[in-house]
Amino acid sequence: MDLVERTQAALAGIFPESAAAATPPAGEGGQEAPPRERGVLAVDPARHGCHFDVLCRPDEVAAVAIVLDREGFFLETISGVDWLDKGQFEVVYDYSRLGGEHCRVMVHALVDRGEPVVPTISDVFPAADWHERETFDFYGIHFQGHPHLIRILLPEDADFHPLRKDYMP
Amino acid sequence: MTVPVHLRHDETFVLNLGPQHPATHGVLRVKLTMDGEYVVKAEPVLGYIHRMHEKMAESGTFAQFMPYTARMDYLHALAFNHGWALVVEKAAGIEVPERAEYIRVITVELNRIASHLLWWAAFLLDLGGFTPLLYAFDDRERIIDLLERVTGSRLTYCYLRFGGVYNDIDDEFITGARDFIKRLRGRLPRLYHDLVTHNIILIKRIENIGFITSEQCRRYGATGPVARGSGINYDIRKNEPYSVYPEFDFDVPVFDEGDSMARYMVRMHEIEQSMRIIEQALDKLPGGPVMGKAPKMLKPEAGYYYSAVETARGSLGHRLVCNGDKAPYKLKLRSPTFSNLSLFGEVAEGMMLADALAFMGSLDLVIPEIDR
């Protein structure tokens, strides 16, 4: 079993109830796509740049991180996305492999915009420490359990989160 | 003294390094808790040159962001151009003519050599050697003159376009590039290696200092020469090939020692490998157009896109989220030195201050790229 298959099997283990969700949702021609189910989706790396697209609940990001840590992945980055129309924030984690067989995994979770709390993964990957601070800095997403969640790039006395779509300078 | 000593932690003081300090080469501040000459805790404080490029990306069109990319890593700006072009071409499905791909590789690799030469000069300046800077700048100047001929700028290039490059290279550029490689090959053994690499003062300053394990690289997400100096054979150009890199025969220098000397050696060998790539690209340079067909106003399909390139400092990633509009809905820049610097605190603990600064120099920090 090669690395890509092994990773898929390991990730699918986290979502036992949604094994059937491995088909992309149909949403062609400008139609609103139905909300996707949680689970692992194999995507075309030549088109999207990663092998797997994992949608999970915020309380599952740490479990996914532990599985990927065990498989030898490293954390590339954490990005926030503000879906103002849907009233949600999205946190996107990008994982990759340092050498050997290549595999990229994107993990994303949606949280309520009014109460954006996501558990930290900085205890699994120390790299997440700074990336989570940056996401907190720009979006105000609170990473529960982070040891030192303070602003990183903006001044410490800033009282705004500039990458929120409703931010006006 | 290279072995970290056992610290008592009962009589410490805080030493503020930067934000204006010659050894940080930019506005980086490090809050150091010191026990005499030894570092107890090192905490980098970032953001002094933060410009919020990600917000600027969201407020313009895709093409309008291209000039900003060069303002992040001003030493390997063409790689940042390349990374942005690649992710947008991937999202919008734009084809690039073969000649343009070759020209991209030639100019990006020339720029990589210039970046390594400047790192070499600045690193040795940190360690107290002034003369090497003059040699390195002499060589670097020739690269910049060459690139200025085709790109129009000397540092902050805006040369790549979606679907190609903005200007074709001419015979004078090709001859100039060949002459430069010949010249640098002649100078590297004596002026670079005999004078500096084999110099006992340099060896005493950087050998067996600043050990980074491969596991630390993985946990902190360190890439580029930092990871390759710790025995990790990882180079995006080989592991996740893009552009026409698979067509060239080149090696990825890997050193297992994990100390500052290993990172030094990786970069010195990379200069040679980049020269090999440029030579092969110049030999095989195909004819044809340098711009493909690309729509004036791009509206990529809604979705998530990721693309990575290898810059002089490591893996540069773009996480692009599109919603079908003419502007990026979200662009996250994964800059390599942001992750590389994040392990500084853990590694610098227990080092002498002078060693910690030599270690910091070996990480090859470019602050505008960390702060974005």
Tens of pLDDT, residue by residue over B158-202, are 899 888 898 888 889 999 999 999 999 998 888 888 888 888 888
DSSP state of B7: P
Question: Does residue B364 sit within a domain?
Answer: no
Q: Return the residue of B nearest to A94 by Cα.
A: B319
Find the chain B residues whose C-beta atoms sit closer than 8 A to any C-beta of A.
46-47, 50, 52, 54-55, 58, 87, 90, 214, 217-221, 223, 227, 232-234, 239-240, 303-308, 315, 317, 319, 321, 329-330, 332, 334, 338-339, 342-343, 346, 371-372
Question: Does residue B320 sit within a domain?
Answer: yes
**Do B7 and B35 touch, CB atoms closer than 8 A?**
yes
Q: How many CB pairs under 8 A join A and B?
A: 106
Residue environment code for B303-340, b if the CB has 16+ CB neighbours within 10 A, otherwise e: ebbbbbbbbbbbbbbbbbbbbeeebbbbbbbbbbbbbb
DSSP, collapsed to helix, strand or coil, labels residue B165 as: strand
**Shortest Cα distance, chain B CAs vs residue A146, angstroms:** 15
DSSP, collapsed to helix, strand or coil, labels residue B337 as: helix
**Shortest Cα distance, chain A CAs vs residue B339, angstroms:** 7
Instruction: Check which CATH number belongs to the domain holding B282 and give it.
Output: 1.10.645.10
Per-residue pLDDT at A37:
77
- Name the residue ranges covered by the structural domains of chain A: 3-13+37-113
Nearest by CB: B306 against A106, A130, A151: A106
Question: Does residue B276 sit within a domain?
Answer: yes
Instruction: Determine, for residues B372 and A75 on separate chains, whether the beta-carbon distance falls below 8 Å.
Output: no
- For chain B, give me the number of helices (H) and strands (E)? 15, 8
Amino acid at A38: R
Instruction: Determine, for residues B55 and A163 on separate chains, whether the beta-carbon distance falls below 8 Å.
Output: yes
Instruction: Determine, for residues B54 and A48 on separate chains, whether the beta-carbon distance falls below 8 Å.
Output: no
Question: Does residue B5 sit within a domain?
Answer: no
Q: Return the residue of A nearest to B308 by Cα.
A: A49
Average pLDDT of chain A, as a whole number: 83
Interface test with A, best of B334, B349, B367, B370 (most A CBs within 10 A): B334
Residue A34's pLDDT band, with cuts at 50, 70 and 90, is: low
Question: Does residue B73 sit within a domain?
Answer: yes
B259 Cβ neighbours under 8 A, 6+ residues apart: B206, B207, B208, B209, B210, B211, B229
Question: Does residue B174 sit within a domain?
Answer: yes
CA angle at B200 for the pair B197 and B201, rounded to the nearest 5°: 95
Instruction: Determine, for residues A74 and B234 on separate chains, whether the beta-carbon distance falls below 8 Å.
Output: no
Per-residue pLDDT at B318:
92
* A27-36 average pLDDT score: 54
Per-residue pLDDT at A30:
45
Sign of CA dihedral B136, B142, B146, B148: positive
Amino acid at B8: R
Could you give the CA distance from residue B204 to residue B143 in angstroms, rounded to a whole number? 31
DSSP state of B300: P
In chain A, % helix, strand, coil (3-state, to 5) comes to 25, 25, 45
Question: Does residue B280 sit within a domain?
Answer: yes
DSSP for A5-70 reads HHHHHHHHTT-GGGGGG-SPPP--TTPPPPPPPSEEEE--HHHHS-SEEEEE-GGGHHHHHHHHHH
Could you give the CA distance from residue B159 to residue B104 in angstroms, rounded to a whole number? 9
For the CA atoms of B271, B276, B279, B280, the dihedral, rounded to the nearest 10 degrees, stands at: -140
Find the helix or strand (DSSP H, E) in which B85 lies.
Answer: helix B77-92
Which residue ranges in chain B fall short of pLDDT 50?
A: none
Interface test with B, best of A3, A92, A105, A130 (most B CBs within 10 A): A130
DSSP, collapsed to helix, strand or coil, labels residue B215 as: helix
Instruction: Determine, for residues B342 and A138 on separate chains, whether the beta-carbon distance falls below 8 Å.
Output: no
Instruction: Determine, for residues A153 and B46 on separate chains, whether the beta-carbon distance falls below 8 Å.
Output: yes
Instruction: Determine, for residues B315 and A76 on separate chains, whether the beta-carbon distance falls below 8 Å.
Output: yes
Residue A29's pLDDT band, with cuts at 50, 70 and 90, is: very low
Amino acid at A105: V
pLDDT digits (tens, 9 = 90+) for A84-138: 888 889 999 999 988 778 888 999 999 998 889 999 998 999 999 999 999 999 9
Question: How many structural domains compose chain B?
Answer: 1
Residue numbers in B near A75 (CB within 8 A): 221
From A80, A36, A72, A32, select the one nearest A54 (Cα to Cα): A36
Find the chain A residues whose C-beta atoms sit closer than 8 A to any C-beta of B.
46-50, 53, 72, 74-77, 79-82, 92, 94, 96, 98-99, 102, 104, 106, 108, 125-127, 129-130, 138, 151-155, 162-163
Could you give the CA distance from residue A22 to residue B71 in angstroms, rounded to a whole number? 41
Q: How many CB atoms lie within 10 A of CB B129?
A: 17
Residue numbers in B near A98 (CB within 8 A): 214, 217-218, 223, 227, 232, 234
Range of the domain at B145: 54-335
Nearest by CB: A77 against B214, B234, B334: B334
Q: How many CB atoms lie within 10 A of CB B294?
A: 18
Question: Does residue B249 sit within a domain?
Answer: yes
Nearest by CB: A74 against B46, B221, B303: B221
